[in-house]
Chains A and B, each alone.
Chain A
């Protein structure tokens, strides 16, 4: 270790600890300031354009949101999109474990799946949605497209997790002859959980985007994207904004859930 690096970490431990705490106390304030900034920018732009067709202001959007929530189709739409995202995650989670673990352990298996991942990565999301529509119809395609897009992300994380397995603990597993099942439960799975959750964090926002995009394109009976597309067709821009706010809020809510799961997961550290 070079001496300056040692000195740096040493100094950090002693002298900057209180000032760093002080700085951390300001973080929520700056966060709130950022929200205020976006809000006032929005308000200002809405005042300038003076047209609810082009850019409805925050007030109009909230009004549209309130009437939207009272609409009988709102909660089915919300539930449908949430269900699609949930179902996609439920499918992609075991799938990426089943492919990622052997792909990390056996090189040929990994090489076999590599072209598939490259293909998925290079294909535009929209063409996947349009092609899948021909096979699965408008109700199931959003789930399929989301699974297909999130699968490589999550699998890459699983592979990284397996490659980082602690070799010392692996010897413990070998010495005490733990069964394959026990070794998975006690060693492999806990080792890759941080990687899985990290992959899930990027996978989750991707999942929302793909599900909503395919709903906009394919118009299933219920869905946030369906609502957006209809609002756009009727030139109800405040409604379009309201649907978007709902989507952002839902995605944010799920991300917050994930944050709490990650907080719990690290309790032993």
Chain B
């Protein structure tokens, strides 16, 4: 899979959010963390990649690219391109800050919903069951979201993202509303799902520890107009990535420094 963002320009107001912004992602790193101060346009970037913003033309009309091309990319009225090269499927999955589950559907129906028109019935049911089992949600499959805890709901949202066979999953601060033990639990859940059915993940966060724990590559973004301030591979192994490990603390300090050196009016550092 390749994701090429080339000379992207975008703004909501006269202050431009992205000005000639470029980024290249490929198979070398499966999980990429985008780290940056709040309000720097991380969410907008994910929305642009997903083709969600008003006025954007969705990547392809169908869920599948035309045979032979395997290329799709949302178009941009303000200039620049996002080119998304992948297998036959050109859509993305998205995990939002809030769980965004359908309250009138059970856990099972919420996950099944995104694949039931896409896959043959038996395969859809099997995939749904597998993802719910990995998320330790199978026993809650008949519950409504209202009757789940916040962590469980966000795990359902993760299962929904993974059951959908998109090569790329976008995550927008998916652990924001959870406390630290739940965050770690959820990140382990992602690792588990990732082992079962590996995808490319772009995760937006403002917490360096989450980036260290989960990602293979860490990109620090500046205040608008957004530029890449730091782009480094995460070379720590699984053990070193845990919250208490000195190697993790060292990297965290470095990332904090990178964040604090941003030329910014609002930076709290």
Q: Which residues of A contact B (CB under 8 A)?
A: 168-169, 171-172, 174-179, 182, 186-187, 190, 268-269
B269, CB-defined interface residue at 8 Å: no
Is B93 within 8 A of A190, CB to CB?
no
A-B pairs with beta carbons under 8 Å apart, 30 shown? A168-B98, A168-B100, A169-B100, A169-B102, A171-B52, A171-B96, A171-B100, A172-B94, A172-B96, A172-B102, A175-B50, A175-B52, A175-B91, A175-B92, A175-B93, A176-B91, A176-B114, A176-B164, A177-B58, A178-B113, A178-B114, A178-B117, A179-B117, A186-B113, A190-B102, A268-B103, A268-B104, A268-B144, A268-B146, A269-B103
Mostly helix, strand, loop or mixed at chain A's interface? helix
Residues of A within 8 A of B50 (CB): 175
B105, CB-defined interface residue at 8 Å: yes
Within 154-195 of B, Cβ neighbours of A (below 8 Å) are at: 160, 164
Q: Which residue of B lies closest to A191 (CB)?
A: B104
Residues of B within 8 A of A171 (CB): 52, 94, 96, 100
Residues of A within 8 A of B160 (CB): 176
The interface bits of chain B over 122-164 (1 if a CB of A lies within 8 angstroms of the residue's CB, else 0) are: 0000000000000000000000101000000000000010001
B63, CB-defined interface residue at 8 Å: yes
Within 101-119 of B, Cβ neighbours of A (below 8 Å) are at: 102-105, 113-114, 116-117
Task: Kindly state the separation between the CA atoms of A187 and B92 in the bound complex, as whole angstroms.
Answer: 20
Q: Ordered nearest first, which 8 A-B pairs have the shortest CB separation?
A: A268-B144, A176-B114, A175-B94, A190-B104, A168-B100, A177-B63, A172-B100, A268-B104
Within 40-61 of B, Cβ neighbours of A (below 8 Å) are at: 50, 52, 58
Task: Kindly state the separation between the CA atoms of A175 and B144 in the bound complex, as whole angstroms.
Answer: 22
Is B105 within 8 A of A186, CB to CB?
yes
Task: Kindly state the separation between the CA atoms of A177 and B117 in the bound complex, as whole angstroms.
Answer: 10
Residues of A within 8 A of B113 (CB): 176, 178, 182, 186
Is A269 within 8 A of B96, CB to CB?
no
Q: Which residue of B lies closest to A168 (CB)?
A: B100
Chain A nearest CB from B82 CB (Å) reads 15
Is B144 within 8 A of A177, CB to CB?
no
Task: Kindly state the separation between the CA atoms of A182 and B98 in the bound complex, as whole angstroms.
Answer: 22
Residues of B within 8 A of A182 (CB): 113, 116-117
Residues of A within 8 A of B102 (CB): 169, 172, 186-187, 190
Instruction: Bin chain B's interface residue count.
Output: 20 to 34
Q: Which of A177, A186, A268 contacts B91 (CB 8 A)?
A: A177
Q: Which residue of A lies closest to B92 (CB)?
A: A175
Q: Which of A174, A186, A268 contacts B52 (CB 8 A)?
A: A174
Task: Kindly state the separation between the CA atoms of A22 and B103 in the bound complex, as whole angstroms.
Answer: 31
Task: Kindly state the separation between the CA atoms of A264 and B169 in the bound complex, as whole angstroms.
Answer: 36
The interface bits of chain B over 69-108 (1 if a CB of A lies within 8 angstroms of the residue's CB, else 0) are: 0000000000000000000000111101010101111000
Chain A nearest CB from B88 CB (Å) reads 14
Task: Kindly state the separation between the CA atoms of A82 and B125 in the bound complex, as whole angstroms.
Answer: 44
Task: Kindly state the separation between the CA atoms of A169 and B164 in the bound complex, as whole angstroms.
Answer: 16
Chain A nearest CB from B51 CB (Å) reads 8
Most chain B Cβ neighbours within 10 Å, of A169, A171, A177, A186? A177
Task: Kindly state the separation between the CA atoms of A189 and B15 in the bound complex, as whole angstroms.
Answer: 39
Q: Which residue of A lies closest to B91 (CB)?
A: A177
Task: Kindly state the separation between the CA atoms of A182 and B93 in the bound complex, as whole angstroms.
Answer: 18
Residues of A within 8 A of B63 (CB): 177
Q: A168-B100, A178-B113, A182-B113 are in contact. List 12 more A-B contacts (CB 8 A).
A: A171-B52, A172-B94, A174-B52, A175-B50, A175-B92, A176-B91, A177-B58, A178-B114, A178-B117, A179-B117, A190-B104, A269-B146
Most chain B Cβ neighbours within 10 Å, of A176, A179, A269? A176
Chain B nearest CB from A174 CB (Å) reads 6
Q: Which residue of B lies closest to A176 (CB)?
A: B114
Task: Kindly state the separation between the CA atoms of A169 and B104 in the bound complex, as whole angstroms.
Answer: 12
Residues of B within 8 A of A174 (CB): 52, 58
Residues of A within 8 A of B96 (CB): 168, 171-172
Residues of B within 8 A of A186 (CB): 102, 105, 113
Chain A nearest CB from B101 CB (Å) reads 9
Q: Which residue of B lies closest to A189 (CB)?
A: B104
Q: Which residue of A lies closest to B105 (CB)?
A: A186
Residues of A within 8 A of B116 (CB): 182
Task: Kindly state the separation between the CA atoms of A186 and B104 in the bound complex, as whole angstroms.
Answer: 9
Residues of B within 8 A of A268 (CB): 103-104, 144, 146
Task: Kindly state the separation between the CA atoms of A269 and B104 in the bound complex, as whole angstroms.
Answer: 8
The interface bits of chain B over 194-223 (1 if a CB of A lies within 8 angstroms of the residue's CB, else 0) are: 000000000000000000000000000000
Q: Which residue of B lies closest to A175 (CB)?
A: B94
Task: Kindly state the separation between the CA atoms of A209 and B160 in the bound complex, as whole angstroms.
Answer: 49
Chain A nearest CB from B105 CB (Å) reads 7
Chain A nearest CB from B192 CB (Å) reads 22
